[in-house]
Structure 1
Amino acid sequence: MTLKPEKPKEKTEKPTENRPVNLKVMAEYLDLSPATVSIVLNDAPGAKSIAPATRERVLAAAKKLDYRPNTIARSLRMRQTLTIGVIVPELSEGYFTMVMNGVERTLMEAGYIYMVLCHQGRADLIDEYPRLLIKRAVDGFILVNTTLNETVNQPVVSISGHKKMKGVSNIVLDHDRSAALALKHLRDQGHKRIVFMKGQKHIPDSETRWESILKVAKTMGVAVHPELCVYLEANSSSPELGYPVIRDLLKKTRDFTAIFSFNDIAAIGAVRALADVGLSVPGDVSVVGFDDIASAMYQTPSLTTIRQPLHKMGEAAAQLLVKRIAKPHEAYPEEMTFEPELMVRESSGAARVVVAKARGDAHETKPALKVARAKR
């Protein structure tokens, strides 16, 4: 008679309180080799070759014994610190928060932590921060609206960066499509005198987006009037960013019916500047933002905007970086492009014709045409 081997049984007692639950203790408790336990707990490439029942036993025991992996030992073994350096221009509650929600969750699930450094547009910090993080032995970089001036040996993934550099993967938005969506929306509503807002010089997206606006406007026959072009300079993450440029423009002219803002934060400031001189949105002036930050639809009026899939872009950046760190010799994409979406809300409507009066800055408006508004 052939005897069947007995199924290994887990010990019913827990390891002693004074004995730390490490890999060796786990292996003894399960009557398995430390290598088997390690492969399962680290979800190593060979994990699929281990019987499902064994994998379940290991994971259940880890939960029961509150096993906590030795991160330092793992780092030494893998020659990694499991730390990512994140470099950003500013820490805003809008764009940055939505991007980092995607970045953080993905990195944490992969066992990484991250350090965030904010350069505020200062050229010296943009150069210094990568060197500082390299000294901290980070395994890679995620850049948000930031461009490196020097190459680094670590893998780099850049969100909204457009500079082609060795070792850098760029996560970008299709800005030609963004411009086309916004300009078609305004053109179809009869707007001909549009204020265009260009972003700050230290933001990589600024120049690329501006070039797309000019190119698409020319193709669509939308006039870009130099006197209606405004340029952001302040390094602010509050609506103060867009308020002064529109306030100053209004002192010179009110001969416009729409504003295409660089981002939602600046658009909120623009709406306030219009209200302060008695102009209504969208009654007198339509406003279109960019990004679709969390508060955009809750503004009064709710903000028509170009949505960037910021969470997905952050998630994709983190996933790509983790993959590049794990498999440094494999080919990687130099660029990943995401598609925008037009979110039509209350801040945009049919254009008004501005009728200048003979004296002073007084003006009046009248409807130019009626356009059916899209349902929210």
Structure 2
Amino acid sequence: MPKGKSSTPPGHVNLRMLAEHLDLSQTTVSLVLNNSPSAKSIPQETRQRVMEAAQRLNYRPNYFARSLRQSRSMSVGVLAPDLSEGYFTRVMNGVVQELTAAHYFYFTACHDWRKELIEQYPRMLVERAVDGFLMLNTPADQIQVPVPVVAISAHSQSENVTNIVLDHHAAVEMALKHLYDLGHRRIAFMRGPKAIPDSEYRWEAIQEVSREMGLKIDPANVIRIDSEGWSMKTGHHPMAPEIGYKPMKALLEKHRNFTAIFCFNDIAAIGAIRALRDSGCLVPQDVSVVGFDDILSAAYSTPSLTTVRQPLHEMGKRGAEVLLDRIANRDKVYPPEITMVPELIVRESTAAAPKA
């Protein structure tokens, strides 16, 4: 039978009660429970007894008191437009892995691109004493908070923000060189919605790389995902293939003067493939399709999708890692941007351009 008092304290068990129950000092119990380096000097038997009693008595630390002592709440706020399958799922996997390993809790708020929520949620989370913010694909320039901020794919110019961004020039170059080498010269482009920070940066990269390669962008072959269709206020899911199906269908009703299309993301590309098939076009025999992101379902679509892989899991992990480091070292200087490297994944949706 473990040493200590035989009766278990009723109700909520705090540090003092747990220490009294074990006939140990509060300092000893605290060192063990917080896995302090100093706890190594405490006998293994005592450490084990503390952990077993804490679990048996359902000990819960007083986080408010601890945060006052440490000047930290051990929690962060995560803001995202939504957490649907695709970009956000892969990024959050990396975020959660890093935060969990650091014993950090996180509050996730989805703003659905509503300006009032983008402004309101940070204030609400500051009131809950978060130690920092992760902004996923969320504009961070207008957010004024007294804690460190790391933005993933947001391209913020604010001094308090560290940006985790993709090398869009390299990403576009990979996609267009792949199509160019397959003989494609008449390439259509599906731009992202205006609300997404990455949209303009990728479009600028497309124009730059096209000039460098001598590829002419025909305005008649440029379509855009509808910003309204992106919002959940319309009743349509913002990450449904419909976002690519509708603009692709509209383009096909006008003309078919292209042999390939480079889509803003994989979800839109899957919708575009369906629109092409519904219009009697074969993919990739008639039209090649390239996506962006390499979401989990990209490899299992029919045909499997050629895409530019963003290292989304690594971006989330790196973003959380930088945020935790900035929280622990408030005076440390970070570069405004940390750039991640893309990769081209060639699958079944691209092939040699059809002969005229």
Fold equivalence (TM over 0.5): yes
1:253-290 CA distance string (max 9 Å, x none): 11111110000000011001101111111111111100
Map of 1:287-366 to 2, 5 A cutoff?
Answer: 287-354=289-356
Q: Does 1:136 align with 2:128?
A: yes
Q: Which runs of 5+ in 1 are unaligned?
A: 1-9, 355-376
Q: Supply the AA of the counterpart residue of 1:141.
A: F
Aligned with 1:226 (options 219, 242, 248): 219
Alignment deviations for residues 22-80 of structure 1 (CA, whole Å, 9 cap, x no partner):
44466567776433443343244xx1x55467468525641464154333332232233
Q: Is it true that 1:105 corresponds to 2:97 in the alignment?
A: yes
Residues 9, 21 of structure 2: 8 Å contact kept: no
Does residue 58 in structure 1 map to residue 50 in structure 2? no
Tell me if structure 1 keeps the 8 A contact 2:76–2:104: yes
Residue correspondence of structure 1 range 19-168 to structure 2 within 5 A = 22-24=14-16, 33-44=25-36, 47=37, 51=40, 54=43, 57-58=46-47, 61-63=50-52, 65-66=54-55, 67-148=59-140, 149-168=142-161
2:7 is matched with 16
Which one of the candidate residues 283, 286, 289 is aligned to 1:284?
Answer: 286
Q: 1:277 & 1:79 partners in 2: Cα distance?
A: 61
Q: Give structure 2 stretches of 5+ with no counterpart.
A: 231-237
Q: Are residues 1:206 and 2:199 paired?
A: yes
Deviation track 1:303-326 (CA, whole Å, cap 9, x = no partner) reads 111111111111111122122222
- The alpha carbon displacement at 1:84 in A equals 1.8
Residue 108 of structure 1, CA deviation: 2.7
| Contact kept? 1:257, 1:353, Cα under 8 Å | no
Q: Which amino acid aligns with 1:294?
A: L
Q: Kindly state the Cα deviation for residue 231 of structure 1 after the two structures are TM-superposed.
A: 1.3
Q: 1:26 to 1:125 in 2, by over 3 A?
A: closer
Does the Cα contact within 8 Å between 2:310 and 2:341 map onto a contact in 1?
A: yes
**Structure 1 pair 54/63, CA: closer, same or farther in 2 (3 Å)?**
same
Partner residue of 2:178 out of 179, 185, 189: 185
CA distance in 2, matches of 1:218, 1:56: 70
Aligned CA distance change for structure 1 residues 301 and 52 (closer, same or farther; 3 Å): farther
* Contact 1:162/1:172 (8 A) holds in 2: yes
Output the CA distance in 2 between the equivalents of 1:68 and 1:21: 7
Q: Which moved more, 1:334-343 or 1:17-26?
A: 17-26
Judge conservation of contact 1:145–1:161 (CA < 8 Å) in 2: yes
Distance 2:212 2:244 in 1: 27
Q: For 1:131-189, what per-residue CA distance to the aligned partner results, in whole angstroms no more than 9, with x for missing partners? A: 23223332211101111214321111101011221210101111111011111111111
Instruction: Decide which structure has the larger Cα Rg and report it.
Output: 1
1:195 aligns with 2:188: yes
Q: Which moved further from structure 2: 22-31 or 120-129?
A: 22-31
2:235 counterpart residue number:
none
Q: Secondary structure at the match of 2:133?
A: strand
Q: Deviations over 1:182-214 (max 9, x none)?
A: 111111111111111111111111111111111
Secondary structure class of the residue paired with 1:195: strand
CA offset at residue 129 of structure 1? 2.5
Equivalents in 2 of 1:300, 1:280: separation in Å? 11
Native 8 Å contact 1:11 1:29 kept in 2:
no
Between the two proteins, what is the percent identity of the paired residues? 52
Check the 8 A contact 1:95/1:293 in 2, yes or no: yes
> Quick one: distance in 2 between partners of 1:273 and 1:52?
67
Find the partner of 1:216 among 209, 214, 230. Answer: 209
1:252 partnered with 2:254: yes
Q: TM-score, normalised by structure 1?
A: 0.83
